[in-house]
Structure formats: C-alpha cells, structure tokens
C-alpha cells in the first residue's frame, strides 16, 4: 500500500455525477487548488449495503464540511450511468437520492490504481494498458488533500469496515488548526482543545541520535 501523505495527490480527469443528477465530463480536483481542502473518498460498489450508509453519512454532515471550506468528492469504479441510476433511488429502497456532492466514475480503474486502493489481481501489458484477471473494485480509501494539492491524511479500510465521518471532520479541524496556529495536535485532540508547540530542536536531536 503506497503512502501518499506528504506527496502531491495524483491528478485525474474523469466523468462524474454532480448535484445529484448532472453528468459532467473531465471532472478534476484541480478546480479546488488554492481554494479548498478536499476529502476524496473511495467506496467499493454502487447498489450495495455498507456503501449507501457511508454516502448518506457524509451527506448528513456536509454542512460541517462546507463551513470549514472543505469539498467532499466520492469515487467508485462504477460507470457514471450506474451512479446516476443509484442517485434516482430513494434511500428507503437502498438508493442514494439526496446526495449532492460529486461522485466520480473511475470506470477504467486508473484513479483507484493511482491512489493504490484498487482491489483485485491485475497487471499492465507491454502497451501500458491495465489487464485484469478478476473483478476490480476500490477499498474504502479516504484522502484529505490540502489547498496546495498535498495529501495530508489517508485511511484505507477493508470492504466490510465502514468509516467514521466525525473522524474525517476531526482530521480537517486538526489540519486547519495546525496551519492557522503553527501548533501540533496531540492524541485525541478535538476542536477547541489546546495544541502543543513543536520543538524543532527536540526533533533534530532525536533524528541525530537514531
């Protein structure tokens, strides 16, 4: 599993469904550079069970992300047509109607591969094309990307393990607190709590002794 923290978030351009039903081509995170942090999260598959619970959970807290200036973006390996169809289904019927943030269609699996959350047996042929031996879907990956396009936090869960949306908000708060105050956040830090002054001398001394 690749560690992307501290690195530029992989770029991509792909179809997406936005505003709950509008299909757009060439969706990219570049539009948020210099403006917004982004929570990009991958989920395995449309029309399943755990996945809609996560998508609705993020939607329920979208106001919390928006007031922090954070954009939510979802992604799976399903097609944009599949996303659109699922968005038309009522929640009580297992659908995701009411979701307003973008859902990317990673149909060729290259985005999931770039973020190293792609499940399945695959390789590349001599022409650089991805060749699969079985069905490939994404793990439950989540990436917090700052305004410079740098990944600052990543989390990858196995398929049966749903994520905690409040923890994603806590990580946003920690990042923004650090950037605004220059202080670091200790274990279990929450918004409103005190931070800690980072000791550059102490870090340098530790590194020199190891």
pLDDT band (50, 70, 90) for residue 199: low
In the Cβ-directed half-sphere of 162, how many Cα atoms lie within 13 Å? 14
Considering only residues 182 and 78, tell me which one the structure prediction assigns the higher pLDDT.
Answer: 78
Average pLDDT over residues 22-42: 97
Average pLDDT over residues 85-107: 96
Q: Where do the domains of the chain lie?
A: 14-164
Considering only residues 137 and 195, tell me which one the structure prediction assigns the higher pLDDT.
Answer: 137
pLDDT in tens, 109-133: 999 999 999 998 777 788 887 677 6
Q: Which of 175, 210, 173, 181 minimizes the C-alpha distance to 198?
A: 181
Say which of 4, 17, 29, 51 is annotated catalytic.
51
Q: Is 185 a catalytic residue?
A: no
Considering only residues 201 and 87, tell me which one the structure prediction assigns the higher pLDDT.
Answer: 87
Fold of 14-164: Glutaredoxin (3.40.30)
User: H or E stretch including 171?
Assistant: helix 165-181
Q: Is the pTM of this model over 0.85?
A: yes
Structure tokens at 139: 């793990």
């Amino acid at each position: 599993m690749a560690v992307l923290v501290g690195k530029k978030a992989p770029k991509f351009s792909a179809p997406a469904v936005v505003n709950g039903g509008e299909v757009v081509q060439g969706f990219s995170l570049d539009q948020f550079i210099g403006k917004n942090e982004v929570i990009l999260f991958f989920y395995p598959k449309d029309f399943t069970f755990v996945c809609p619970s996560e998508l609705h959970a993020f939607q329920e807290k979208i106001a919390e992300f928006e007031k922090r200036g954070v954009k939510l973006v979802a992604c799976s390996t399903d097609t944009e047509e599949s996303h659109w169809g699922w968005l038309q289904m009522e929640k009580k019927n297992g659908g995701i109607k009411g979701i307003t943030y973008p859902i990317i269609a990673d149909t060729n699996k290259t985005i999931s591969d770039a973020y190293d959350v792609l499940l399945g047996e695959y390789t590349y042929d001599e022409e650089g094309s991805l060749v699969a031996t079985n069905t490939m879907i994404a793990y439950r990956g989540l990436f917090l990307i700052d305004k410079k396009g740098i990944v600052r936090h990543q989390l990858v869960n196995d398929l049966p393990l749903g994520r905690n949306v409040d923890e994603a908000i806590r990580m946003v708060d920690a990042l923004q607190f650090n950037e605004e105050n220059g202080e670091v956040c200790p274990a279990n830090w929450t918004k409103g709590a005190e931070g800690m002054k980072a000791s550059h001398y102490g870090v340098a001394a530790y590194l020199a002794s190891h």
